[in-house]
Amino acid sequence: MSSARRRLILRAAAVLTLVSGALMVYSMLFPKPITVVLAMSLGQGIGILGVVGYLYVVIHDGIDRRLSIPPAPRKETPKP
């Protein structure tokens, strides 16, 4: 997965987290049937989607790093 794609997914996931949080806070400030039901269904679904996006990126990132970057022996660069 390209790093641009990773970023895009992560940013989308971040926005989802914001939306989900906003729905929940709104439902607490204005506890009407529609707000509470939306927060507890749609809001939580959106939040979970955000987490899934995050995990997807982080796991892919971890795998890619392991595959593409061989653990090079660290050498102290001689200081001038």
Partner 1 sequence: MDVSTSSLVSNPLVAAAIAATALSSLLVLWFLIKKPPLNTATKLRLFAGMFVLPTAAALAGNLVGFQVTTQRSFCAGCHVMEPYTDDSADAASTSLASRHARNGWFGKENCYTCHADYEMFGTVLTKASGMSHVYYYYFTDWGRMPKDEFLKAVKISKPYTNRPCMQCHSTTTPGFAEVRDHKSALESVRTNEIGCASKGCHGPAHPFSKIAKGEDLNPPRMDGPVDLTPPPEPEDGGVSASPTDGGAP
**Measured between alpha carbons, how far is residue 55 from residues 14, 33, 45, 52 in Å?**
12, 32, 15, 5
15 near partner 1 (CB under 8 A): yes
Rule CB under 8 A: choose which of 1, 5, 7, 66 binds partner 1. Answer: 7
26/35 Cα distance (integer angstroms): 7
80/27 Cα distance (integer angstroms): 62
Residues 39-68 touching partner 1, rule: CB under 8 A, are 39-41, 44, 47, 50-51, 54, 57-58, 61
6/74 Cα distance (integer angstroms): 27
Q: Toward partner 1, which CB reaches closer, 33 or 79?
A: 33
Applying CB under 8 A, the residues found at the interface with partner 1 are 3, 6-7, 10-11, 13-15, 17-18, 20-21, 24-25, 27-34, 36-37, 39-41, 44, 47, 50-51, 54, 57-58, 61
